[in-house]
Amino acid sequence: MEIKESNLKRQLEDYLQFQQNLGRLLFLRLNAGNFIELRGNNRRRIKGCPKGTADLLVLAGGKVTFLELKSKRGKLTDAQVEFSRAAWEQGADYHIIRSLEEVRELEWKWKDGPRS
């Protein structure tokens, strides 16, 4: 059975929140696009991250890692490919994640400490 991207996102956020609560990392969910917030009769436009930005940002062991979540058959858009290239050029790690197990495999990298 293939896991939907939305279910994978919830699963990983729960797991990363647990790791953050233990003090092992800091993670942020990154939302791309623009949003409208409604408060009573007021509307406010909120600008999110640029198109193509990865779904999650993890800071651990002095390293910056972007995680793009995809279903088993999901493919990167052109904007996501460009973001991944820019992230690598700036020294950040970028990974396409299709399961919780793939994130667990990355943990050894996060425990190594800051880059030299």
Predicted confidence band of residue 15 (pLDDT cuts 50, 70, 90): very high
What pLDDT is recorded for position 10? 93
Calculate the average pLDDT of the chain. 89
CA within 13 Å, CB half, 84? 15
* Range 76-84 average pLDDT: 96
The correct CATH number of 5-110 out of 3.90.1150.10, 3.40.50.300, 3.40.1350.10, 3.10.580.10 is 3.40.1350.10
Length of the chain in residues, anyone?
A: 116
Task: State the first-to-last Cα distance of the chain, in angstroms, to the nearest integer.
Answer: 42
Q: What is the pTM of this model?
A: 0.84
CA distances from 4 to 1, 97, 99 (A): 10, 12, 10
Q: Does 23 have pLDDT greater than 50?
A: yes
